Amino acid sequence: MQHTLDWVIRHAGKIYRNDEAIVDGDIRYTFGQFEERVNRLAQALLTAGVGYRDRVAVLMNNSHRYLELHFAVPCVGAIIVPVNTRLAPAEMQYIIEDSGAKLLIVDEINSRAGTALGSLVTRVIKAPEEYESLVGAAANIALPGPRSENDAAGLYYTGGTTGPSKGVVITHRNHMAHADMVASGMAYAAGKPTLYVFPLFHLGAICGIYDATWRGCKQVFVGPMDPGLLLETIEKERIHHTAMVPTLINFMINHPDLARRDLSSLKYMAHGAAPIAPDLCRRAVAALKCKFVQAYGMSEACGIVTLLHDEQDLLDTEKVRSAGRATAGAEVKICRTDGSLADTREIGEILLRSPAVMVGYWNKPKETAEVLQDDWYRSGDMGYLDEEQYLYVVDRNKDMIISGGENVYSVEVEAALATHPAVFECAVVGIPDAKWGEAVHAVVVKTPGQEASEAELIAHCRRSIAGYKCPKSVHFQVEALPKSALGKILKRDIRAPYWVGQGRNVG
């Protein structure tokens, strides 16, 4: 028995046939219509010559069409390659070439970038016009499905917070297993609308769509990331569940419309990438009066690995700094550099395994062998487990600073800096230092209307963390820190200029 993604859309199309499935601007589709459009799109892809294991690249902003592609492409046995719309042209070109994509599907907003990539593929399909005419002309025939549940469904290129981008190969079974693993945690259910905010080119968002569809959950799209529009949409569509970055939550709860919007339908606010600051969480809980859930994971694990439930009840406990516990189906362990198991609360590398973990990186056997060993995935993240198996992520391995032989976790230093009112956002990185090997360096964006000097911020840190962990230098900048699509600060980009010609793998 092969359990593949066509089961998900077929189940939803049958069981929830007349229930609302999609809301995207003026467009509203039932699950019956959603399934029919996916069926037609799949036939159109077959007609366009898409064959078994062919790669289909997609360069689009969020829309119901993107959702349809996430079903139709894998369900004809092909492989979807979502392209991050924020990348530079050379980075996009790398992904198209590395994946060997045959087809590119591009929307109007990204048409300029799409045109530049056109010569690299056999064919470009433009949304919405060309896309719609192909779907309209195709027959409504049930999805063929892939040949095996172990066939690749997608290549999801790593966000690039460390090292060069690699194509994470996720199979149908990986997706199905992930959808089951998070099912109880994320509470997707029929009659409980979800709002998509994260971009559908990232597994952090994609991993939710299969589960949401399977459980018959209405899926609502918004256009621009406007906090006022988000509030309006939550009220209008009676949104039950959403996920966004802490920054956006912050904007939303400080928006003048907050008081006049009825947000009583909202029961779950999920967020990922980084722990939410307790103070922000406290204010957000007071404003939104719902459950807060933190997710920790990565593309290599098809999305979520651990969940921290009910953060709103943990604000005054140590647990609020954790990423929660492994979901049913996933297993987490902490290892020392020699591979032995770390003790409780001992910091080491985070390893994990589950049926959702990728089969490897696309055409990169060496890189795959480095991270996949005996079914365990080496995340490169540093952390520890407490007595109750709560996971604390202390840093990315590559973001850890080794100064005078001591390990300094950049995240800890950032947390100390962030408690100063003048610090709006900050990043701490290691920079070359003749004496210490690496020196702790902070890059800070100041809160509008607030002031602080370098010396003052360093002194502020000294009050809460050990001297060797405190920044030796602080750089103030006006522009926002560079971030990944999910809002993770790109420390690689911050670190790089300091290491030019110095030989560190700035990763």
- Binding to a second copy (CB under 8 A): which residues in 255-294? none
Instruction: Identify which of residues 208 and 246 has a Cβ nearer to a second copy in the complex.
Output: 208
The tokens describing 151, both together, are: 């066939």
Q: Does residue 326 interact with a second copy by CB under 8 A?
A: yes
Among 137, 139, 328, 466, binds a second copy (CB under 8 A): 328
Q: Does residue 374 interact with a second copy by CB under 8 A?
A: no
Q: Does residue 184 interact with a second copy by CB under 8 A?
A: yes
Instruction: Identify which of residues 17 and 28 has a Cβ nearer to a second copy in the complex.
Output: 17
Among 26, 316, 338, 388, binds a second copy (CB under 8 A): 388
Distance of alpha carbon 363 from alpha carbon 357, whole angstroms: 17
Distance of alpha carbon 410 from alpha carbon 297, whole angstroms: 19
Residues 6+ apart with CB under 8 A from 192: 217, 218, 240, 241, 267
Supply the minimum distance, in Å, between the C-beta of residue 284 and a second copy: 25
| Alpha helices in 218-321, H assignment, sequence order | 227-237, 246-253, 278-288
- Binding to a second copy (CB under 8 A): which residues in 204-243? 214-215
Supply the minimum distance, in Å, between the C-beta of residue 17 and a second copy: 7
- Binding to a second copy (CB under 8 A): which residues in 29-88? none
Instruction: Identify which of residues 15 and 286 has a Cβ nearer to a second copy in the complex.
Output: 15
Which residues, in sequence order, are bridge partners of residue 24? Answer: 27, 221
Instruction: Identify which of residues 92 and 177 has a Cβ nearer to a second copy in the complex.
Output: 177
Instruction: Identify which of residues 10 and 469 has a Cβ nearer to a second copy in the complex.
Output: 10
Among 87, 92, 105, 177, binds a second copy (CB under 8 A): 177
Nearest to 392 by CA among 320, 488, 342, 469: 320
- Binding to a second copy (CB under 8 A): which residues in 343-362? 353-355, 357
Angle separating helix axes 172-181 and 203-214, nearest 10 degrees? 70
Among 5, 9, 10, 308, binds a second copy (CB under 8 A): 10
Supply the minimum distance, in Å, between the C-beta of residue 187 and a second copy: 9
CA 239 from centroid of its chain's CA atoms: 21
Residue 278 preceded by cis peptide, ω within 30: no
Among 48, 113, 120, 183, binds a second copy (CB under 8 A): 183
Distance of alpha carbon 71 from alpha carbon 206, whole angstroms: 11
- Binding to a second copy (CB under 8 A): which residues in 420-439? none
Distance of alpha carbon 42 from alpha carbon 139, whole angstroms: 9
Whole-number Cα distances in Å, 355 to 172, 175, 420 = 11, 9, 43
Classify residue 234 as exposed, middle or buried by CB count within 10 Å of its CB (0-12, 13-18, 19+). Answer: buried
Q: Does residue 21 interact with a second copy by CB under 8 A?
A: no
Instruction: Identify which of residues 385 and 422 has a Cβ nearer to a second copy in the complex.
Output: 385
* CB contact at 8 A, 432 and 421: no
Only segment of 2-10, 159-167, 418-426, 435-443 that touches a second copy (CB under 8 A): 2-10
Supply the minimum distance, in Å, between the C-beta of residue 19 and a second copy: 10
- Say which DSSP state 202 is in: S
Which residues, in sequence order, are bridge partners of residue 353? Answer: 331
The tokens describing 34, both together, are: 């959603």
Only segment of 1-9, 68-76, 131-139, 472-480 that touches a second copy (CB under 8 A): 1-9
- Say which DSSP state 255 is in: S
Question: Pattern 135-154, binding to a second copy, x per CB under 8 A?
Answer: --------------------
Only segment of 3-11, 47-55, 126-134, 256-264 that touches a second copy (CB under 8 A): 3-11
Only segment of 24-32, 62-70, 322-330, 395-403 that touches a second copy (CB under 8 A): 322-330
* CB contact at 8 A, 159 and 488: yes
Q: Which residue has the tokens 């009659």?
A: 191
E-assigned strands of 3-50? Answer: 20-24, 27-30
Distance of alpha carbon 66 from alpha carbon 83, whole angstroms: 11
Supply the minimum distance, in Å, between the C-beta of residue 355 and a second copy: 5
Q: Does residue 3 interact with a second copy by CB under 8 A?
A: yes
Which amino acid, one-letter code, is at 93? Q
Only segment of 15-23, 138-146, 436-444, 466-474 that touches a second copy (CB under 8 A): 15-23
Backbone angles phi, psi at 218, to 5 degrees: -65, 135
Only segment of 13-21, 98-106, 222-230, 434-442 that touches a second copy (CB under 8 A): 13-21
Q: Does residue 180 interact with a second copy by CB under 8 A?
A: yes
Q: Does residue 295 interact with a second copy by CB under 8 A?
A: no
CA 324 from centroid of its chain's CA atoms: 17
Per CB under 8 A, residues contacting a second copy are 1, 3, 7, 10-11, 14-15, 17-18, 177, 180, 183-184, 189, 214-215, 325-326, 328-329, 331, 353-355, 357, 375, 388-389
